[in-house]
Amino acid sequence: MFEALRRQIGFWAGHSGVRRYGANTLWMLAEKGGRLVLGFLVGIYVARQLGPAQYGLLNYAISFIALFSVLVTLGMDPVLVRELVKRPSRADCILGSALALKAAGFGVMVVAVGAILLFSPMTNGERLLLAIVLAGYAFQIFQVFDFSFQARVLAKYSAVSQITALLVVSGARLWFAWRGAPLWCFALAESIYMAFSALGYVLFYRYLGGRFRALRVEREEVKFLAMESLPLFLAAFGVMFYLRFDQLIVTWLLGDAANGQYAVAVRLSEVLFLFPLVVADSFFPSLIGTRSTSIRRYYQRTERLMRFLFYSALAILLPAACVGYFLIVLLYGEAYREAAWLYVILLAKILLVYPGQVNAKWYLAENMQKISMAVSFCGCALSVVLDYLMIRLWGVTGVAVAAFLINFATYLVFPLPFRKGRQGVRLFLRAMLPIFR
């Protein structure tokens, strides 16, 4: 048995594809791990210095602007990776057209947010926070170069860019917190992070031989990317809405202090969501390539990847809940004790989110953007109704419970009316439960 195990390990270790994608995954994990450690440690100090009310207001501003960030991403990020993998000879045209689309999207975002800032009843301080965070999204236009790295399985360049930006911004946040800087300085740090990340993408793109003069915008390519991305854009808006709406409604109905508690729980739980995101992003080019050669192997790999992530979630759920609860109380202080219970409730989502990341990639590989859009809008509508009802029943705890129910409905209920959607639900259940295999 041990000899067979040794040969199997030797086979996988010597497999060039495994080594390539494994190294790519390790670089992505290094970046996410660095963000995890630095974000956690710096976030503790910042949250303690600001207090629940100020920390809640800062996260409200970030969440509010994030609702409009889909106008910059346009849902085209996974489409870009897919097309760059399928048509590498057209990379300059694809990237140039994507840059033009994203720049136009940011212009629309500025107009939309600007109108809200002018006509909404908010304080000048709130307007300043929102405007500073908005400015950072101008640099998201250059994230197209990050997707060129992903398509070529060169995640180390993205990782180095983001780790460098994170180190700079973490130092700034610590200094701001130590000096008792005004809240707008922390909003500025969010924009600086996006600016430094974009600078790294641009420099590494040029280092790898990319030529900015070779980038070109073609009407047909713009039209193609826009049409392919439109369902994903609408779906991304729905996803972003129900991911961020909870923090907005907590602030509107319960105040900044309650949102400060909820934001700490969300931030800490989202740390654990980075692992499946990295794995799904890293293996997505491989799944696309396998689908063109063998449908059977493609489905086998997809199901195995989902199963691996589901059992990973099962393995870490209880230890992460126990450790996270005591860490919040110990490190954030008694003022954030309520956040510890919210974190434990929110953590249950990992049982769905872990395999769900691969499920989302499967939707894209199967060209099911319209179904994804419909599912996302259903989730968006459910989040409005459920968040409001649950917050009236159980306060901020109800919002945490609603988060799990919304994810359950999105992955396993809303796709059922569609034939391909039912196929995705079966794939999801086969990965989770042996009885469905």
Cα-based torsion angle of the residue sequence 284, 285, 289, 292 in order, rounded to the nearest 10 degrees: 60
| Nearest-angstrom CA–CA distance, 58 and 53 | 9
pLDDT given for residue 30 in this prediction: 67
Start-to-end C-alpha separation, the chain: 26
Alpha helices in 89-215 (DSSP H): 91-119, 124-136, 144-151, 155-179, 183-207
Question: Residue 345's closest CA among 280, 385, 390?
Answer: 390
Question: Residue 211's closest CA among 91, 77, 87?
Answer: 91
- Residue partners of 65: CB distance under 8 A and separation at least 6: 113, 130, 133, 134, 137
Kind and range of the H or E run holding 342: helix 337-347
Phi, psi torsion values for 255, nearest 5 degrees: 100, 170
| Nearest-angstrom CA–CA distance, 149 and 198 | 13
Find the angle CA(405)-CA(411)-CA(412) to the nearest 5 degrees.
85
- Residue partners of 152: CB distance under 8 A and separation at least 6: 84, 88
Burial of 275 (0-12, 13-18, 19+ CB in 10 A): buried
Contact at 8 Å (CB) between 197 and 137? no
Contact at 8 Å (CB) between 56 and 342? no
| Nearest-angstrom CA–CA distance, 275 and 78 | 18
- Structure letter (DSSP) for residue 250: H
| Nearest-angstrom CA–CA distance, 53 and 251 | 10
CA separation (Å) from 335 to 51, 113, 279? Answer: 8, 33, 35
Question: Quick one: tokens of 300?
Answer: 């086998």
Helix (H, G, I), strand (E, B), or coil: what is residue 60? helix
Contact at 8 Å (CB) between 428 and 411? yes
pLDDT of the chain along its 437 residues, tens only? Answer: 444 435 544 444 454 544 555 565 666 666 666 677 777 778 788 888 888 888 888 888 888 888 888 888 777 777 787 777 778 778 788 888 888 888 898 998 999 888 888 887 778 888 888 899 999 888 888 888 887 777 776 667 777 888 888 888 888 988 998 888 888 888 899 899 889 888 888 888 888 777 778 788 888 888 888 887 777 777 777 767 766 777 778 877 888 788 788 888 887 887 788 778 777 877 777 777 777 777 888 888 888 888 888 888 988 888 888 888 888 888 787 778 888 888 888 888 889 989 888 888 888 778 787 787 788 888 888 888 888 899 888 888 888 898 889 889 988 999 999 888 888 888 888 888 765 55
Question: Quick one: tokens of 137?
Answer: 């999204």
Question: Quick one: tokens of 109?
Answer: 């975002």
CA separation (Å) from 82 to 225, 237, 247, 304? Answer: 11, 20, 32, 21
pLDDT given for residue 4 in this prediction: 42
